[in-house]
Amino acid sequence: MKILFADNYHSMSRKAANIISAQLILNPHSVLGLPTGSSPIGTYQQLIEWYRKGDLDFSGCHTVNLDEYVGLAARDSQSYAWFMHQNLFSQINIDPANTHLPDGTQTDAAAECQRYNDLIHKLGGVDLQFLGIGPNGHIGFNEPGSAFEKETHCVALTESTIQANARFFASSDQVPTHAYTMGMKAIMQARKILLIASGAAKAGILYDALFGPITPQVPGSIVQLHPDITVVADQDALSVILSRQPQQVSGRTPC
Ligand code: F6R
């Protein structure tokens, strides 16, 4: 596991975008696993900027997103499909047919999860899985207590995740209660993982995920077992790790 230091959110985003760019340059046909949320927005903005400068080409790659709310259509402004369209896909030269998310309008959960698993396998698996981490340690929507061995499945969101995501909705009672999410098994099958974290609110959980016991109670802790994981986090998110395991953190140079 490599843990890279970033001064702040902007620097974290640039370092993460550099890693994604390297992946795309080395393999233009990469399958990228992507998250939504506040953490990756700066990375997506940086990738867009480099694309506009002519340094990046997304025409050959595929993306598979981690998750989608059950009940929301892609054109719903709160859906993750819409988030991805607005924050990345509409601003780069990716073929929309190569962008994949679970379909939140599908009511047959088993069939939709099977379709998504089959799709990921058909694409040859994920080359680089980009991840954020929730305040309770969730990855995708794999909430504490989720079995590690699951592929895509339907989950009931915990109250803490509903409250954390309420900031994107008019009120917390509008946050959907269920989501389709890639499971920890599918995430761990990615060839590489890139995990980002920013802000003091993530400091405790980042330490627990990377240095605590590997337990379903902290879903993100499973990444400790991945053979090729890079973590990029800013100073605030690294504060607990820097106080207890400073020798594990590298990359204190600008990027
Ligand atoms: C969303 C996802 C979630 C987020 C997590 C952190 O697709 O996978 O696990 O990464 O909730 O969200 P932010 O970045 O908003 O703190």
Asked if 138 is an active-site residue, the reply is: yes
Within a domain: residue 137? yes
Within a domain: residue 210? yes
Q: Does the pLDDT value for residue 152 go beyond 60?
A: yes
Contacting residues for 143 by C-beta, under 8 A, at least 6 apart: 136, 155, 157, 158, 161, 219
Pocket test for ligand 1, best of 13, 133, 175 (most atoms within 8 A of CB): 133
Instruction: Give 32 Cα–ligand 1 centroid separation in angstroms.
Output: 16
pLDDT digit string, tens, across residues 97-147: 999 999 999 999 999 999 999 999 999 999 999 999 999 999 999 999 888
For residue 181, the cross-strand partners are 67, 153
Q: Residue 206: what pLDDT?
A: 98
pLDDT digit string, tens, across residues 182-211: 999 999 999 999 999 999 999 999 999 999
Q: Specify the 3-state DSSP secondary structure of 123.
A: coil
| Residue pair 202/233 in contact by the 8 Å Cβ criterion | yes
Instruction: Give 153 Cα–ligand 1 centroid separation in angstroms.
Output: 17
Instruction: Give 170 Cα–ligand 1 centroid separation in angstroms.
Output: 19
Within a domain: residue 32? yes
Q: What is the CATH number of the domain that holds 18?
A: 3.40.50.1360
Q: Does the pLDDT value for residue 231 go beyond 80?
A: yes
Q: Does the pLDDT value for residue 255 go beyond 60?
A: no
- What's the pLDDT band for 254 if we cut at 50, 70, 90? low
Instruction: Give 124 Cα–ligand 1 centroid separation in angstroms.
Output: 25
Pocket test for ligand 1, best of 13, 32, 36, 64 (most atoms within 8 A of CB): 36
Within a domain: residue 255? no
Within a domain: residue 33? yes
Residue 146 CB neighbours (<10 A): 21
* Closest atom, ligand 1, to C-alpha of 140: 8
Q: Does the pLDDT value for residue 223 go beyond 90?
A: yes
Q: Does the pLDDT value for residue 253 go beyond 80?
A: no
- State which residues form the domain around 188: 2-250
Q: Is the dihedral of CA 9, 192, 36, 97 positive or negative?
A: positive
Q: Is 155 exposed, middle or buried (0-12, 13-18, 19+ CB in 10 A)?
A: buried
Asked if 93 is an active-site residue, the reply is: no
pTM score of the predicted model: 0.96
Asked if 143 is an active-site residue, the reply is: yes
**Which among 100, 138, 153, 226 is annotated as catalytic?**
138
Q: How far is it, in rounded angstroms, from Cα 135 to Cα 195?
A: 14
pLDDT > 70: percent of the chain: 99
pLDDT digit string, tens, across residues 46-84: 999 999 999 999 999 999 999 999 999 999 999 999 999
pLDDT digit string, tens, across residues 20-54: 999 999 999 999 999 999 999 999 999 999 999 99
Q: Residue 222: what pLDDT?
A: 96
Count of domains observed in the chain: 1
